[in-house]
Amino acid sequence: MTTNIRNIAIIAHVDHGKTTLVDAMLRQSGIFRENQEVVDRVMDSNDLERERGITILAKNTALSYRGTKINIVDTPGHSDFGGEVERALRMVDGVLVLVDASEGPLPQTRYVLQKALAAKLPPIMVLNKIDRPDARPAEVLDEIYDLFIDLDATEDQLDFPVIYTNAKLGVAHAKLDDGSTTLQPLFEQIVASIPPPAGDPEGVLQIQVTNLDYSDFLGRLAIARVFQGTLKRGTEVGIAKLDGKIQPTKITKLFTFRGLERDEAEEVSAGDIVAIAGVEGIQIGESITDLANPAPLEPLLIDEPTLTMVFTINTSPFAGREGQFVTSRDLRARLERELLTNVSLRVEDTGTTDAFRVLGRGELQLAILIETMRREGYELMVGKPEIVVRNENGRKLEPLELLVIDCPESFIGIVMESLGSRRGEMKKMVNHHSGRVRMEFSIPSRGLIGLRSQLLTDTRGTALIHSLLEGWTEYAGDMAMRLTGALVADRAGVSVAYAIWGIQERGEMFVGPSVEVYEGMIVGENAREDDMNVNITKEKKQTNMRSSSADEAIRLIPPRDMTLEKAIEFIADDEYVEVTPKSIRLRKKVLDAKRRPKRWQEIRASAEASKTS
C-alpha cells in the first residue's frame, strides 16, 4: 500500500465546473511559479476545447498537498465523451462528483455517478457554484440523495462527505458558513476519505494503459496506472496484447505527472500513474506485466456506440481543391489512427472501399472528429447520422434516451409538440417556481437527431437540453424526417445577387453572392417539402437603359451560416455534407438533376406514419 498517494477523477455533468476546480487546485498547491501566467481552464489545452469552452479529452495532472501526491483526472461532462470518463475511472480510487448548486443533478451526473458506484469508487460530493444567486444547495443535496437511492447505492455509498465550493474563487467549505477562504477543506477531505491505492510495490508487475498521448519530443506516450509491482527504467517487460499474446519490450523512458509538467523517473511503483515513452504499438486497455511471469489485467470494457455516420471520399466537382488528404487511403489511415486513442469509436467497412461507417456516441463526438480532420487538411463527405439498431432474438431494438429539457414555462406547449412528433414520452415535469420548468422524456435516440437546433429555435435559445442513454427498446417505427426540401443549384457557376433575390422568397438561403456552386449543390432550404432546382447563377438581362430603382431594390437576406453541426443536423438521407479545410457545402448524393430521384413521396409517407401512430 502506498499511503502518500491519492488518485481521483473529477466527474460531473457538462459545465458544472470541473476544469475550473482543477485550475484552483493547481494554483493553490503552488505548482505554478510566482510570476507564471496561466490561462483559465488550463487543462482544456487543445484548440477545439478552448474555442468551444468544453472539455473533450480526459487529462491527467498531479499536485502535492502536505506530502501527499494527488493524481487528478479531469474528465469531460458532455455525454458524447462518456467513453473518456469510463476509462478515467479505471485509473483512480475515488471520485469528486461535482454538482452545480443551482442546476442540481442532470443526466450526465446520473451517468457518471452510476459508473463510479458500479466501480465501487468512494465519492466526495462537491456542490459547486454556491455563489450563484439562484444556488439552492440544500435542495440540490436532497436531489443527490434521491439520485443515489434511485441508483441502488449501498448504505456505505450513501454515507458520502459533502464539500461546498466556489471553484472560480478557489474556496471550499466543509460547512456552508465555516468562513474558509481556500480549498483546504477539499484537500483535507480527499486525503481523509479517498483510500490510498492498494497494490504491493514488491508484487508481480501489473500496469494498465488507459490513455495514449503524443508529445513532439517523445512521440507516443502510454498513460497507465501501476496496479502492482514497480516499473524500472531500462527493464525488459511484456505487453499483454488484447488478443492474449505477450510481446516483449524494453522501457526506455518513464515520467510521472506534476502540474502541467512531466518529471522523468527512474522507477514508478504500485499506486502511481505513469507516462511511458517509446512503447511501440501499445493500445488502450492493454497491460504491461512481468515478461517471465505475466499477470495481465482484464481489458477495459466500455459502452457500445449508438450513432453511426458514413464517411466517404469527396466526390464533388470541387474535390481536391482545398485539401491535402483526399484519397480513400488517406481517410482509412486517419480513421485507424483515431481508433488508437478514441476508445468509444468504431470504424466498419462498407460495401465500397471509398466509404467507412464510423460509430460513436453522438453527433457532437463525430462532429469534433470531422472538425479536427478538416483542420489537419482532410477533405471528406459525411452522410446523415443514423442510430445503431440491434437485433436480439429476432427483435429489432433501438437505443432509448432519458431527455431532460429545462425551459421557461411559456414554451411548455411548443416543446411538448416537438417531442411528440419525435415519439418522446413525458415522464415527469417539475416546476421550481423560478419561471422555468424541467421536463423529463423518454425518447428513442433517433428522435434526438436535429432536436437541439429545433428546440433552440422554438424556445429562442432559452432551453437547456440534456440526454442520457437509458437502454434499448423495441424499434418504434418510422419517425418524421425533415419536412422541408432543399433549394438545389441546377448548374455550375457563380452565385449572383440578382438570382438570389429571386430565389430567397422560396425559402432560406445558405449561400450569398459570388460563391462558386456546382450542379446538385444545396444552396438553401425550400419552404415546401419537395426539392427545387434553381438557377442561382442567372444574371440580370443587360439593357441599354440605365436601370432606375430596380437595382437598388435588390435586398438580400443574409444567408444562414451552416456550421458543420448545423449542416449535419440538416441533411436528409439523400444528401451529403462536403467538408474541406476551407468550406462546408451541402449537396445531393446524386448531382445530376435528371437522374436524381424525387424526395417528396418518401417524406409524405414518413409524415403520415408519424401522425397516425
Ligand X SMILES: Nc1nc2c(ncn2[C@@H]2O[C@H](COP(=O)(O)OP(=O)(O)OP(=O)(O)O)[C@@H](O)[C@H]2O)c(=O)[nH]1
- Give the residues lining the site for ligand X (CB under 6 A): 12, 14-20, 41, 54-55, 76-78, 128-129, 131-132, 166-168
Which lies closer to ligand X via its Cβ, residue 88 or residue 335?
A: 88
Q: How far is the CB of 168 from ligand X (least distance, A)?
A: 4
Q: How far is the CB of 304 from Mg ion (least distance, A)?
A: 25
Contacting residues toward Mg ion, per CB under 5 A: 18-19, 55
DSSP per position, 220-255: EEEEEEEEESEEETT-EEEEE-TTS-EEEEE--EEE
467 binds, among Mg ion, ligand X, none (CB under 5 to 8 A by kind): none
Report the length, in residues, of the chain. Answer: 613
223 binds, among ligand X, Mg ion, none (CB under 5 to 8 A by kind): none
Residue whose C-alpha cell is 468551444: 52
14 binds, among ligand X, Mg ion, none (CB under 5 to 8 A by kind): ligand X
Which lies closer to ligand X via its Cβ, residue 12 or residue 274?
A: 12
Q: How far is the CB of 406 from ligand X (least distance, A)?
A: 16
Which lies closer to ligand X via its Cβ, residue 14 or residue 521?
A: 14
Could you tell me which of 416, 587, 573, 597 has the C-alpha nearest to residue 489? 587
Longest Cα–Cα distance of the chain, Å, equals 96
Which lies closer to ligand X via its Cβ, residue 6 or residue 78?
A: 78
Which lies closer to Mg ion via its Cβ, residue 6 or residue 41?
A: 41
Separation of alpha carbons 108 and 336, rounded Å: 29
What Rg, from alpha-carbon coordinates, does the chain have? 27
Q: How far is the CB of 56 from ligand X (least distance, A)?
A: 8
Separation of alpha carbons 11 and 19, rounded Å: 10
Q: How far is the CB of 53 from Mg ion (least distance, A)?
A: 9
Could you tell me which of 403, 546, 532 has the C-alpha nearest to residue 468? 403
Beta bridge partners of 466: 404
15 binds, among Mg ion, ligand X, none (CB under 5 to 8 A by kind): ligand X
Separation of alpha carbons 524 and 485, rounded Å: 9
Separation of alpha carbons 380 and 374, rounded Å: 8
Could you tell me which of 314, 421, 308 has the C-alpha nearest to residue 358? 308
20 binds, among ligand X, Mg ion, none (CB under 5 to 8 A by kind): ligand X
211 binds, among Mg ion, ligand X, none (CB under 5 to 8 A by kind): none
Query: What is the torsional sign of CA 390, 395, 397, 402?
Result: negative
Which lies closer to ligand X via its Cβ, residue 127 or residue 400?
A: 127
Which lies closer to ligand X via its Cβ, residue 404 or residue 572?
A: 404
Q: How far is the CB of 563 from Mg ion (least distance, A)?
A: 22
Q: How far is the CB of 211 from Mg ion (least distance, A)?
A: 16
Separation of alpha carbons 257 and 60, rounded Å: 7
Find the DSSP H helices in 233-315. Answer: none
493 binds, among ligand X, Mg ion, none (CB under 5 to 8 A by kind): none
How many Cβ atoms are within 10 Å of 194's Cβ, its own excluded?
Answer: 24
Q: How far is the CB of 74 from Mg ion (least distance, A)?
A: 6
Output the residue with the shortest Cβ distance to ligand X: 77
Which lies closer to ligand X via its Cβ, residue 132 or residue 538?
A: 132
DSSP per position, 184-208: HHHHHHHHHHSPPP---TTS--EEE
Taking the mean position of all CA atoms in its chain, how far away is CA 517? 32
129 binds, among Mg ion, ligand X, none (CB under 5 to 8 A by kind): ligand X
Q: How far is the CB of 189 from ligand X (least distance, A)?
A: 17
167 binds, among Mg ion, ligand X, none (CB under 5 to 8 A by kind): ligand X
Separation of alpha carbons 235 and 222, rounded Å: 16
Which lies closer to ligand X via its Cβ, residue 18 or residue 599?
A: 18
Q: Which residues of 346-359 are buried (b: 16+ CB within 10 A; e: fewer)?
A: ebeeeeeebbbbbb
